[in-house]
C-alpha cells in the first residue's frame, strides 16, 4: 500500500473486511489541505484499492480545479451491487467507518449506488449528514432527476466547441447511464446532433442523428438494452469510439481509450465525461493528432459542484437549495473549461497539463500555508 503514497497523499487509507456478508471496502483520504475529504462511494464486485486511490487523487485535483474548498477522497465497496444482500453490505461498511464518517469523510454517490443507498448509509450511522445524494424527500439533492453531472459535461462541450471553432455538430456519447443520458439530453437542447450512443450491451448509430426523445423513453423501458430497440444501425460496444463525428464524449468507464484505439478516433474534440477514460498513451496520441481533449476533472465536475451544495446544506431544516444548482453548474463549468483551454493555448501545452498545473498550484499553496510541505535544508538550519 505504501506504493500509493507520494508528496500529495494519500493521508489515510482505511480498509475493512466484514466476514459475514463478504463485504470488503476501502476509504482513501487523499489530500485535505483545502478542506475535509469528499468524493463518491462506489460499489462493484472487482473493485481494487489502487482504483479507489486513483479516484481519490482525481477528487483532489477536481475540487481544486473548480476552486471549491473540499479535499480529495473516495470510498469503495468490493461487493456485487445487484446482490439481494446489498443493504447488509452498505450497513456494515458504514458501521466499520464510523470513526471517519462524517468527521473526516462524507459518503456520496458513484457507480453501483443510488439515492436510496445514501439514505441507508445515513440511517445506519444515525446522522443525516453522513452522506450527500440522499433523496429529495429527505432533504437531499435528486442528482439522477437533475442529471447534473451530464448537464455540466454538455456545457463543457459547448464552451469547448465555441473556443476551438469546431463547426461539426455531430456527437458520439459512449455510455448512456446517469451521466451519458443527461449529457445527450442537454446537448440536444443546445442544438447538437447525437449520431451514436452506447451502453454495456452495444451501440446504436445514425449519421443523420438519433431520436433523443426515443432514446430517453427506451432507457426508462429497457435500460441498457435500449440499443436493441432504438432506430438506427446496431453496432458492437466500442465501435462508437471511432465513428466519424466532430465530438466524442466517453461517459462510462475508465480506460476506454488507450494506445490501441486512440489513433483511430476521428473526432476533433474529446470531452471526458467519465473518470479516467483515457490513459497517458491515448492522451499523447490525441495531442499529436491535434485533437483537443478536455480532462475529466474539468468536464465532469458538475456533480461535485452540486455535491458542494449538498455538503453546505445537508443539516439545514430547509433542505438543499436546488434552484441554485443548475445555474451555478452552467456558469462554473463554462468558465472553468474556458480557463483551462486558454491556459493550454497560452502555455503551449495540453488542456490536461494546464488543468493539472492549475490544480496542483492551488493545492500546493494550501499545503504551504498549513505547514504541510517539508522544510528545505536552509529552513531547517
Q: Which residues contact 350 (CB under 8 A, 6 or more apart)?
A: 283, 287, 293, 344
Interatomic CA distance for residues 195 and 192, integer angstroms: 9
Q: SS3 letters for the chain?
A: CHHHCCCCCCCEEEEEEECCCCEEEEEEEEECCCCCEECCEEEECCCCHHHHHHHHHHHHHHHHHCCCCCEEEEEEEECCCCCCCHHHHHHHHHHHCCCCCCCCEEECECCCCCHHHHHHHHHHHCCHHHECCCCHHHCCCCHHHHCHHHHHHHHHHHHHHHHHCCCCCEEEEECCCHHHHHHHHHHHHCCCEEEEEECCCCEEECCCCCCHHHHHHHHHHHHHHHHHCCCCEEECCCHHHHCCCCEEEECCCCCCECCCCHHHCCCCEEECCCCCCECHHHHHHHHHCCCEEECHHHHCCHHHHHHHHHHHHCCCCCCCCHHHHHHHHHHHHHHHHHHHHHHHHHHCCCHHHHHHHHHHHHHHHHHHHCCCCCCCHHHHC
Q: What is the pLDDT of residue 111?
A: 87
Judge whether 153 and 185 are in contact, CB under 8 Å.
Answer: no
pLDDT at 376: 60
Copy the grid coordinates of residue 290.
Answer: 491535434
Q: How high is the pLDDT of residue 232?
A: 96
- Other CB atoms within a 10 A radius of the CB of residue 19 amount to 8
Residue 323 has a pLDDT of: 85
CATH of domain 2-59+73-140: 3.40.50.10860
Which residue do the cell numbers 451501440 mark? 203
Residue 332: the pLDDT is 94
pLDDT mean values, one per 10 residues, the chain (381 residues): 91 97 98 95 96 94 93 98 97 98 94 94 97 90 82 98 97 96 98 97 97 97 96 96 98 94 97 94 95 94 90 88 90 95 94 93 96 67 45
Question: How would you class 323 by CB atoms within 10 Å of its CB: exposed for 0-12, middle for 13-18, buried for 19 or more?
Answer: exposed
Domains 2-59+73-140 and 143-380 share a fold: yes
Instruction: Classify domain 143-380 at the CATH topology level.
Output: Rossmann fold (3.40.50)
pTM: 0.84
- Residue 380 is predicted with a pLDDT of 42
What is the per-residue pLDDT for 153? 98
Specify the pLDDT at position 359: 94
Give Cβ neighbours of residue 87 (< 8 Å, ≥ 6 apart). Answer: 120
Chain centroid to CA 135: 20
Give the other-Cβ count within 10 Å of 202's Cβ. Answer: 18
Whether 74 sits among the annotated catalytic residues: the reply is yes
pLDDT score of 145: 75
Q: What CA–CA distances, in Å, run from 109 to 50, 114, 319, 353? A: 19, 6, 18, 28
- Tell me if 149 is assigned to a ligand binding site: yes
Residue 371: other Cβ atoms inside 10 A: 8
Domain parsing of the chain, residue ranges: 2-59+73-140, 143-380
Do the annotations mark residue 86 as ligand-binding? no
pLDDT at 381: 45
Rounded Cα distance, 326 and 146, in Å: 8
Q: Which of 18, 42, 57, 74 is catalytic?
A: 74
337 annotated binding-site participant: no
- The pLDDT assigned to 156 comes to 98
Cell numbers for 215, please give them: 432514446
C-alpha cell of residue 360? 496542483
Label residues 43-77 b or e (16+ Cβ within 10 Å = b): bbeebebebbbbbbbbbbbbbbbbebebbbbbbbb
Amino acid at each position: 500500500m505504501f506504493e500509493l503514497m507520494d508528496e500529495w497523499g494519500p493521508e489515510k487509507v482505511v480498509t475493512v473486511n466484514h466476514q459475514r456478508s463478504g463485504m470488503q471496502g476501502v476509504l482513501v483520504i487523499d489530500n485535505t489541505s483545502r478542506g475535509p475529504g469528499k468524493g463518491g462511494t462506489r460499489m462493484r464486485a472487482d473493485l481494487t484499492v489502487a482504483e479507489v486511490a486513483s479516484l481519490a487523487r482525481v477528487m483532489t485535483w477536481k475540487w481544486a480545479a473548480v476552486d471549491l474548498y473540499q479535499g480529495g477522497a473516495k470510498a469503495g465497496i468490493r461487493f456485487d451491487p445487484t446482490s439481494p444482500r446489498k443493504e447488509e453490505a452498505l450497513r456494515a461498511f458504514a458501521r466499520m467507518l464510523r470513526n471517519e464518517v462524517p468527521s473526516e469523510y462524507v459518503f456520496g454517490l458513484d457507480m453501483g449506488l443510488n439515492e436510496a443507498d445514501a439514505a441507508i448509509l445515513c440511517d445506519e450511522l444515525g446522522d443525516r449528514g453522513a452522506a450527500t445524494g440522499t433523496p429529495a424527500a429527505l432533504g437531499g439533492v435528486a442528482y439522477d432527476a437533475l442529471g447534473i453531472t451530464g448537464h455540466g459535461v454538455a456545457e463543457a462541450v459547448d464552451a469547448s466547441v465555441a473556443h476551438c471553432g469546431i463547426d461539426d455538430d455531430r456527437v458520439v456519447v459512449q455510455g448512456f447511464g446517469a451521466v451519458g443520458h443527461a449529457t445527450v439530453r442537454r446537448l440536444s437542447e443546445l442544438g447538437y446532433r447525437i449520431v451514436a450512443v452506447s451502453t454495456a450491451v452495444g451501440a446504436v448509430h445514425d449519421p443523420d442523428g438519433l431520436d433523443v426523445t426515443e432514446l430517453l423513453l427506451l432507457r426508462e423501458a429497457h435500460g441498457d438494452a435500449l440499443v436493441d430497440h432504438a432506430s438506427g444501425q446496431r453496432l458492437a460496444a466500442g465501435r462508437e469510439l471511432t465513428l466519424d463525428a466532430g465530438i466524442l464524449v466517453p461517459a462510462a468507464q475508465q480506460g476506454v481509450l488507450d494506445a490501441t484505439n486512440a489513433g483511430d478516433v476521428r473526432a476533433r474534440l474529446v470531452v471526458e465525461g467519465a473518470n479516467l477514460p483515457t490513459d497517458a498513451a491515448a492522451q499523447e496520441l490525441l495531442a499529436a493528432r491535434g485533437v483537443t481533449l478536455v480532462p475529466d476533472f474539468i468536464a465532469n465536475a458538475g456533480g461535485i459542484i452540486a455535491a458542494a451544495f449538498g455538503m453546505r446544506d445537508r443539516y439545514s431544516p430547509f433542505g438543499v437549495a436546488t434552484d441554485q444548482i443548475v445555474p451555478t453548474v452552467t456558469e462554473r463549468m463554462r468558465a472553468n473549461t474556458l480557463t483551462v483551454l486558454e491556459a493550454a493555448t497560452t502555455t503551449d501545452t495540453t488542456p490536461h497539463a494546464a488543468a493539472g498545473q492549475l490544480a496542483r498550484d492551488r493545492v500546493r499553496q494550501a499545503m504551504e500555508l498549513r505547514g504541510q510541505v517539508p522544510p528545505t535544508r536552509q529552513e531547517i538550519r
